[in-house]
Amino acid sequence: MVVAASVVAAVGTAAGVLTAVGDRAPVDEARRAEVTGMPRPKRPPVPSPSPSEIPVPPSATATSAAPASVTPRPSPRAASAPERPAAVAPPRLYRHPDSQVLAWVHGNADDPRREVIRSRIADRPAAVWFADHAPATITARVAAVTSGAAAAGRVPVLVPYVIPDRDCGGHSEGGAPDLAAYDAWIDAFAAGLGSGEVIVILEPDSVAQSECLSAGERADRFASLARAGRVLKAAGPRARVYYDAGHSGWHPAGRQAALLRQAGAADPASSDGIFSNVSNFHTTADETAYDRQVLDALGGPAGLGAVIDTSRNGNGAPADGEWCDPDGRKIGRAPTLDTGAARIDGYLWVKLPGESDGCKGEPGTFTPSYAYDLAR
């Protein structure tokens, strides 16, 4: 997308191996395309004991790499005071055993940056992104993640990111060929949810960045999103579905709530609330205030809540609005579902720290120097 929302890393789908350049870690693009991890989204991790021991079928391998960028809209607001990331959070969230950062940690035992990256990023759970339109395999790939999480007694965070015309043709362009194909893909995605607890970050930027569509196209997209929420919640009895609220430096809360209402986010049959700050940098305090304003304007049942991507917001957003791997950022609060804050259901790492937006590394690839700067 252009300068607009959060940064979801671009999705690579070519088979073969991406050769490392500089300090960028090599990525097996064929594996990454099967279940693509976050850039952007969604949700966006807490240190968790080794779910990496759970066997995952090779054909259902998932990575936490996200599409390259949900582009953050620049905000004129100056950065707030740095936040202190929590050292440890309750280990309820799931850390998938296959991610670019874990692969780098396992392959670079002698790198002096390894321990900082391992302890502050790799050991914490992050969202798993599904960003390629591959309807024949999506059910099995989702089930591989949800069954692994259930066996470990953990809660996975899943990010479906296949809405047609995603990113308005920007860095993360792609998705399903049309809404009918998207609806069928969502049906297949939902079939893999299982009966365990799961959090779904539904289509980062799909609501906040919808103004590039015509009024008719936007109405059709919102109808598909409302349907997606209903299908996901009907298929997964313990699934929680959250809708795109952009972030505090983008639309005013009332405007965002009006868009969300059209997309079904106020309907408890479709929605458990909203998510914000995916792949962006705004402070938890700013997002908490903004999300509560959006929820108040949205209406709907009192039980609707919000989750916030805290993966890179420890120093707040750059004053100049830069969104692409900006210098001086830090990881934020550790992922947890126990926030202690009213109407805030979780702090999640939807965008995995160290996966580039496309400026310090190839879009969507793990860049150790960037990860180290964020974590130290």
Q: Which residues are catalytic?
A: 167, 205, 357
> How buried is 342 (Cβ within 10 angstroms: 0-12 exposed, 13-18 middle, 19+ buried)?
exposed
Side-chain half-sphere exposure of 121, counting CA atoms within 13 A: 34
38 torsion bin: left (phi>0), alpha (psi -120 to 50), beta (else): beta
- Give 23's Cβ-side CA count (13 Å radius): 17
Q: Which of 86, 85, 116, 83 is nearest to 101 (CA)?
A: 116
**Nearest one of 328, 327, 326, 291 to 309, comparing CA atoms:** 291
Residue 262 in 3-state DSSP? helix
Closest CA to 372 of 130, 59, 108, 54: 108
Cβ within 8 Å of residue 55, ≥6 positions away: none
The answer to whether the beta carbons of residues 62 and 37 sit under 8 Å apart is yes
* Amino acid sitting at position 274: I
